[in-house]
A and B are shown apart, each in its own frame.
Chain A
Amino acid sequence: MKVVGKNVIKIDAFKLARGEPVFTDDFTRQGMLYAKVLRSPHPHARILNVDAAAALKLDGVVDVIWHRDVKAIPHTRAGQSYPEPSPYDTLILSPKARFIGDRVAVVVAESVAQAIAALDHIVVDYEELPALTDMDQSLTNSEILIHEEPDPRGISEAGMTNIAARIDKQVGDVEAALKECDLVVTRDYHLPRVQASHIEPHISIAWVDEDDRLIVRTSTQVPFHLRRMLARILEIPEARIRVIKPRVGGGFGDKQELVVEDLVGVLALRTGRPVRLEFTREEEFVAARYRHPQRVTMTTGVMKDGTIVANRMYVLADTGAYGSHALTVQGNTGQKVLPMYPVANIHFKMDCVYTNNPISGAFRGYGAPQGCFALECHMDEVARELGMDRLELRKKNHIKLGDTDPLSAKLGEGKEGLVRVVKSTGLEKAIELGCEAIGWGNKREPSAAHLKRGLGMALAMQGSGIAGVDWGGATVKLNDDGSVNLSVGATDIGQGSDTVLAQMCAEELGIPYEKVIILSSDTDLTPFDVGAYASSTTYISGGAVVKAAAEVRGQLAGVLGSHWECEPEDIVFSDGMVTGPGDQSMTIAEVALFALYKAMIQPMATASHMSNDSPPPFAAQFAEVEVDTETGQVHLCRFVSAVDCGTVIHPKMVEGQIEGAVAQGMGYALFEEVLLDRTGRVLTPDFLDYKIASSLDVPEMVTILVPTDEPTGPYGAKAAGEVPIDGPAPAIVNAICDAVGVRMFRIPATAERVWRGLKEETR
C-alpha cells in the first residue's frame, strides 16, 4: 500500500501549529451577544419565579430567559442516533432544578462582563426539595422522586422509582454453574467520577443568516445529531438549521452531548443577533458530563485448573440529575468487557439511578473502563485465591479467533444486539510482546529501601462502531488537475479522522495523499455521519470513503475502458498514474481532463457505509510501579501497551491515541476524582484540585502496534481510540498489589488510600 500505513503529515497539523484561527471561538460576528447561565445553588428545588427586572435594567443586558420563556419539549441531550436509547427527561429550561449547577435562567448581554454582572441581579424564588445524592439511597428511596414529570419517555421506572435504566441479561445459568465450581470469588470495585477535561471548553456561536436560517458554529462531536435535536426542541425545520464544526479542541465523548447549542439557538432566534456561549472551566466541572461513578460487584466461579465457568457482574451507577447515556454506558460496562472471557454462563445486571448530583454521560471508553477495572482486578484476585499465575489464568480463558462473543446477541445498543464472532485478533501476540517489553516475571529491584516495585497487567477489548446503528456517508469528486474533493460527515475532533479518511481515499484512487482536499462535518455541505463516538470513524466512515472512491475509480475505468478499448477491470490506478493493459498510460490529471472535457462527465460518487459487525480491537497493557511504603505514593515507572487495531492506517496517530489514553487512564488509576460534598456541590472545580497528568507525571511509555487484518474493515482496519483507555487503571492497581500486597478496590489509588491499605495490612 502506498498511502495507508504511512505516517503522512496530519492534514490540519501545520495550521494548528501556526495557531491559525480555526476553532469555534477564533471567529466573531458583528453585533455578537454573550450568554451566561444562572445555575441553581440548590440540589433539588422548584423554580417558582424568576424576577429579571433589575438585571434587564443594567447596561448592555439584552435578554433574560427562564422556563416560562421556552416551550417544554422533553428530550435527551445525549447526541445519539434516532431513536435515542436515552430517556427524554430534559428540558431546555426546567421548572425544577435537579442539581447544584442546573440551569435556571440565561442572560445575554453585549459583553461577557455585563452578562456575568447581570447574574447577581436575577432574583429567583425557589421551593427547596429534599435531595438524594447517594446512589444507594436513590435505589431504595421512592419518596423523593427526581423525575416525576407526567410525560417521560424512556425512563425505566418513571414516576415510581429513581431508576433511570436497568438491564438484566443472562446466558447460561450462573446460579447453577456457581454451585458446581471449585472456587467462587466475589468482590466490590468502586469507580470515581472523572471528567474528560478537553482543554478547549464547550463553546458555541449561533446566528440567523440573511436567508433566515440558524447557523450554529460549535465545538461538537455530533453535528448531524445536533441538527436533528435542535430542529425538534427549537421547533424549526431541519432545513432552516446549518451546523458547522470547525477544529475542535478535544472532545473525548464530552462533546457528544448537547450542553450549549440549544441555548445559543434559542437566544439567536429570540434576539435576531449572533450569540456566543462558552463554558468556564468551572462550568466544565459542574455542568458538562462525567464518566459514570459505579460500584461493580464481580462474582466468578472457577475450577481448580483455572477454567472459568461463570461470571456475574452487577453494576450500580449514578447518572446524576439526568439520564444521558444512562442505559448505554452501563450496558457497555458489561457488553464491551465480559466477552473477554467468553464462558458459558454470564449474568450481567445493572441499575443506573438518578441522583441530585451533576450529570454523568459519555467519556472515552463509555462504560468499559469501569467494567474493565472490575474484571481485570478480579482476575488477579481469582488467580491469587486459586494460587494460579495471573497471566496463565488469562491466557487460558481469554477470547480467541473464531469465538463468539457470548453477550452480543443479548445486549446491543440499549436493545438486542447482533451476533459477533471474532474474525481477527492479535491478543495472543499482544500479550507476548507486552510481557517481553515490561519484563514480566523479572521484577526489577526498587531504588530505595522504603520503595517496593510491582508489575501488573490487564487485557481489554472494545468495539468498532455500534453494529447495525452507526453509519456514515462520503462523497468523492475528481477535479481537473487530478485533485479530489472528499467530503464526509465524519467529525475530526483532534483524533485525526480527516487525515485517515484522506489516506484511504488516496489509496483507493491511487493518487498522492496531498491531492485529497477534505471537507468534513458541515450539515449543509457534507453527507451524513453519526459523528465521532463509539470508536467508529476509521472503521465505519472509512468504509464509506473506500466505497465512494472505488466507485469514482470505476467511473474513470469505464470511461478509459471505452477510450482505450480494454476491460475496465484491467486498468490500474497507482502513484498518480492510470495504466491500461497495453502501454496506455495517463496521469490522474490527464484522466481528469479527459473525463471532464472529452467524456463530459463529472467523476463523482457518494457512498454510505454501515456494518452489522463491530469487530473488537484488543489491548494487553502492563504497568510497572514503585510504591513508597511510608507515604503510599505510587510512581508509575513504565507502561506498555500492545494494541491490535487491525491494519494500522497511520502508525504515529495510533500511537498518539494510545499514549493519550494511557495518560488519561493513569489519572483514573491514581489521582483524578471529582469530589462532591453531601449536597452534590463540586469541591474540585478547577485544575488546581482536579489534577490531570502533566508532562512530569506520565511514565515512560512503550507502545506496540500488533496489526491484524480485519476482514470487515476498510483495508483491514479496526478501531483504536477507546480500547487503550480501559487497561491502564486495572494494570496499575494490579501492579500496586503486586508491589505491596494491598488491593485497591477503590480508585483513584491516592497516596493516602494506599497508605491506609498498608496500615490495615500491618495491623
Chain B
Amino acid sequence: MNISLNLNGTATDWEVAPGQTLLQALRASGAFSVKLGCETGDCGSCTVLLDGQPVNSCVVPAARVNGSRVTTLEGLLGDDLMIRLQTELVEQGAVQCGYCIPGMLISLYALLKQGPPIDEETIRHALTGNLCRCTGYVKPVEAARAVAAVLEETS
C-alpha cells in the first residue's frame, strides 16, 4: 500500500507491505541510525519520534504512519539540542559499542525537549526503554544531566 509521511522534515511516499514494520521501512529508506535489537519492543535500539513521541519502531506497523511525522536521528543531526547531547555523551565516555546510542539519544531528546525541570530520576525513567549492555547507564545519565543543567541555566 502507498503511504505519505513527513520523514525528517521531507514529504515522503512509501510503498509498504501490510506486515512491514516502521523499523524495516526506515532502514530500507536508508535511515541506518535506527537499529534492530529485539523486534519485540523491549530494547529501544529502534526508538524514533512519531509525531514527536518516542516509539519503538519495531512494533509500529509502517502502514500506521500514513500522514504522520517521523523523525530519526538523521533528521536531528543539525539540531542544537541534539548536537549538545551527542557531544556530551561522547565527552563523558557514554558511547561504548554505540549500538543503543541513537535510540538513547532520541529518548533523551524527547525528554529534554519538554524543558526543565529534569532531574536524574526523570532521566532514568526516560531511559528505561533503552537497554544498554555496555555502560551500566552511569555515563549516559551523567551526560544527560549535564545537558539538562545547561538548559536549566539558559531557560
Interface string of A195-233 (1 = CB under 8 A from B): 011111100000000000000000000000000000000
Asked if B136 and A659 make an inter-chain contact with CB atoms under 8 angstroms apart, the answer reads: yes
Asked if A17 and B45 make an inter-chain contact with CB atoms under 8 angstroms apart, the answer reads: no
**Cβ distance A704 to chain B, nearest Cβ, rounded Å:** 13
Contact (A493, B97) CB under 8 Å given A17-B105, A695-B127, A696-B124: yes
**Cβ distance B98 to chain A, nearest Cβ, rounded Å:** 3
B57 close to A (CB within 8 Å) = no
A662 close to B (CB within 8 Å) = yes
**Which B residues are in CB contact (< 8 Å) with A696?**
124-125, 128
**Cβ distance A39 to chain B, nearest Cβ, rounded Å:** 17
A694 close to B (CB within 8 Å) = yes
Binds A, one of B34-42, B62-70, B145-153: B34-42
A686 close to B (CB within 8 Å) = yes
A688 close to B (CB within 8 Å) = yes
Of the four ranges (under 10, 10 to 19, 20 to 34, 35 or more), the interface on chain B belongs to 35 or more
Among B38, B72, B95, B129, the residue within 8 A (CB) of A13 is: B95
**Cβ distance A479 to chain B, nearest Cβ, rounded Å:** 26
Chain B residues packing against A (C-beta within 8 Å): 17, 19, 32-40, 42-43, 45, 72-74, 77, 86, 89-102, 105, 123-125, 127-141
Binds B, one of A19-27, A162-170, A437-445: A19-27
**Which B residues are in CB contact (< 8 Å) with A494?**
96-99, 134
**Which B residues are in CB contact (< 8 Å) with A692?**
131, 133
Asked if A18 and B77 make an inter-chain contact with CB atoms under 8 angstroms apart, the answer reads: yes
Asked if B133 and A199 make an inter-chain contact with CB atoms under 8 angstroms apart, the answer reads: yes
Among B36, B93, B100, B141, the residue within 8 A (CB) of A652 is: B93
- Secondary structure at chain B's binding surface: helix, strand, loop or mixed? loop
Contact (A659, B139) CB under 8 Å given A14-B90, A16-B101: yes
In the complex, what residue of chain A is closest to B139 when comparing beta carbons?
Answer: A656
In the complex, what residue of chain A is closest to B126 when comparing beta carbons?
Answer: A695
**Cβ distance B34 to chain A, nearest Cβ, rounded Å:** 8
A698 close to B (CB within 8 Å) = yes
Asked if B86 and A14 make an inter-chain contact with CB atoms under 8 angstroms apart, the answer reads: yes
Asked if A252 and B135 make an inter-chain contact with CB atoms under 8 angstroms apart, the answer reads: no
- Secondary structure at chain A's binding surface: helix, strand, loop or mixed? loop
**Cβ distance A471 to chain B, nearest Cβ, rounded Å:** 25
Chain A residues packing against B (C-beta within 8 Å): 7, 9-10, 12-14, 16-21, 23, 25-26, 113, 196-201, 247-250, 252, 278, 280-281, 493-496, 652-653, 655-656, 659-664, 686-688, 692-696, 698, 701, 703
Asked if B98 and A249 make an inter-chain contact with CB atoms under 8 angstroms apart, the answer reads: yes
Asked if A693 and B136 make an inter-chain contact with CB atoms under 8 angstroms apart, the answer reads: yes
Asked if B136 and A199 make an inter-chain contact with CB atoms under 8 angstroms apart, the answer reads: no
Asked if B102 and A656 make an inter-chain contact with CB atoms under 8 angstroms apart, the answer reads: no
Asked if B139 and A199 make an inter-chain contact with CB atoms under 8 angstroms apart, the answer reads: no
Asked if A701 and B98 make an inter-chain contact with CB atoms under 8 angstroms apart, the answer reads: no
**Which A residues are in CB contact (< 8 Å) with B137?**
659, 663, 693-695, 698
**Cβ distance A725 to chain B, nearest Cβ, rounded Å:** 11
Asked if B136 and A250 make an inter-chain contact with CB atoms under 8 angstroms apart, the answer reads: no
Asked if B128 and A695 make an inter-chain contact with CB atoms under 8 angstroms apart, the answer reads: yes
Contact (A688, B42) CB under 8 Å given A662-B136, A694-B127: yes
In the complex, what residue of chain A is closest to B100 when comparing beta carbons?
Answer: A199
**Which A residues are in CB contact (< 8 Å) with B105?**
17, 19
Asked if A495 and B124 make an inter-chain contact with CB atoms under 8 angstroms apart, the answer reads: no
Contact (A200, B43) CB under 8 Å given A17-B89, A695-B141: no
Among B38, B90, B130, B136, the residue within 8 A (CB) of A686 is: B38
